[in-house]
Amino acid sequence: MAEHDDIHTPVLLERCIELLGPALQRPGAVFVDATLGMGGHSAGILERFPEVTLVGLDRDPEALAIAGERLARFGDRIHLVHTVYDGIGEALDGLGIDEVDGVLFDLGVSSLQLDRVERGFSYSKDAPLDMRMDGTSELTAEVVLAEYSEADLRRIFRDYGEEKLAARYARRIVEARETAPLTRSGQLVDLITKATPAAQQRQGHPAKRVFQALRIEVNQELAVLERAIPAAVDALRVGGRIVVEAYQSLEDRIVKRELQTRSTSSAPPGLPVELPEHRPELKLLIRGAELADDDEKARNPRATPVRLRAAERVRRAS
């Protein structure tokens, strides 16, 4: 188990515990870790709140196995479910749970997935072009690169990678696959590097945004997130709290929009009195997004891009 602790340092653990804590002190409280990973955040919560029951969700069977071993000491306080996080409602129904006290999302690719070279998430190591968070699913990065049209490749590089050279990269990929299939990350990195002007190569690794875009497409991360955040809020009891850690702007935009919408009155302008059904469902616990401080970044470099948002449920939807 030590090897797993070495490769998994939970991002902003103490801050997450501080934000979730007031909701988790209730006897019989239920906490949902919607992105369980190897269970670092959950272990911290279960240690700090001895009456909390955990529902841990993850799409990655390997992560679930590691987390199950790591959290076994908490006995019947843990319930682990193999599902994508937009399946939170179905997971809770399956356990007979009507509402929960806290939900945490730690988004993006996990430490386990990044550190397993063979998973193909990293552009710095040659590996099969896989990028599946759930190895039982069918779509891989190799399939995307082999079968998507030039227009679709351009779209995902532009929309999911915010890549300015999306059209150029898509065209080069389509040209290259006519000669030989792209099956390894090293091939893709070499192709992208050669297609990138020298001046732009000095601005950062040229493959970074393309790899991000492919990962998001393979795992449908943004579409899943757009369903998951509303479902998580709906599952909260009044007084329950949600905390979300996002690592890139596309994720953070989705989270920000949902939390802001549900923390804003829906009353039409000009009404002399706000009716109860128009009152906000949420109260924001942080103004804007909170960033990791320098000490956290030094301890855990993966915290560098994090954007943390949190809210408390103050009214149940009518």
Q: Which of 58-62, 114-118, 273-277 is most confident?
A: 58-62
pLDDT digit string, tens, across residues 11-20: 999 999 999 9
Other beta carbons within 10 angstroms of residue 245's beta carbon come to 29
Query: For 194-219, what is the mean pLDDT?
Result: 90
Asked if residue 269 lies in contact with residue 129, where contact means CB atoms within 8 angstroms, the answer is: no
* Mean pLDDT, rounded, of the chain: 91
pLDDT tier for residue 184 given thresholds of 50, 70 and 90: very high
Asked if residue 206 lies in contact with residue 196, where contact means CB atoms within 8 angstroms, the answer is: yes
Residue 39 is assigned to a ligand binding site: yes
Tokens of 152: 């679709």
Residue 247 is assigned to a ligand binding site: no
**Cα–Cα distance measured from residue 292 to residue 11, given in angstroms and rounded to the nearest whole number:** 9
Phi, psi of 103 (to 5 degrees): -135, 135
**For a pLDDT cut of 90, what percent of the chain falls above it?**
80
pLDDT over 60 (residue 84): yes
- Return contacts of 23-29, CB within 8 angstroms, 24+ apart: 23/101, 23/102, 23/239, 23/240, 23/241, 23/312, 24/49, 24/52, 24/101, 24/102, 25/49, 26/101, 26/239, 27/51, 28/53, 29/53, 29/101, 29/102
pLDDT digit string, tens, across residues 91-119: 999 999 999 999 999 998 766 666 666 67
pLDDT digit string, tens, across residues 24-35: 999 999 999 999
**For a pLDDT cut of 70, what percent of the chain falls above it?**
91
Q: Percentage helix, strand, coil, to 5, in the chain?
A: 50, 15, 35
Asked if residue 55 lies in contact with residue 127, where contact means CB atoms within 8 angstroms, the answer is: no
**So what's the pLDDT on residue 111?**
65
**So what's the pLDDT on residue 202?**
74
Residue 58 is assigned to a ligand binding site: yes
**Cα–Cα distance measured from residue 88 to residue 56, given in angstroms and rounded to the nearest whole number:** 10
Q: Where are the domains of the chain?
A: 2-106+221-313, 118-219
Contacts of 244 (CB under 8 A, 6+ apart): 104, 105, 107, 229, 255, 259, 308, 309, 310
Residue 85 is assigned to a ligand binding site: yes
* Token pair 């006519």: residue: 178
Contacts of 122 (CB under 8 A, 6+ apart): 114, 185, 211
**Cα–Cα distance measured from residue 243 to residue 167, given in angstroms and rounded to the nearest whole number:** 36
Q: Does domain 2-106+221-313 have CATH number 3.90.550.10?
A: no
Residue 115 is assigned to a ligand binding site: no
Could you give the dihedral angle defined by the CA atoms of residues 254, 258, 261 and 263, in that order, rounded to the nearest 10 degrees?
-130
Residue 203 is assigned to a ligand binding site: no
**Cα–Cα distance measured from residue 93 to residue 265, given in angstroms and rounded to the nearest whole number:** 30
Query: For 201-205, what is the mean pLDDT?
Result: 80
**So what's the pLDDT on residue 317?**
75
Q: What CATH number labels 118-219?
A: 1.10.150.170
pLDDT digit string, tens, across residues 298-314: 999 889 999 999 999 99
pLDDT over 50 (residue 4): no
**Cα–Cα distance measured from residue 107 to residue 244, given in angstroms and rounded to the nearest whole number:** 8
pLDDT tier for residue 124 given thresholds of 50, 70 and 90: confident
**Model's pTM, two decimal places?**
0.90
Q: What is the DSSP string of 9-63?
A: --TTHHHHHHHHHHHHTSTT-EEEETT-TTSHHHHHHHHH-TTPEEEEEES-HHH
pLDDT tier for residue 1 given thresholds of 50, 70 and 90: very low
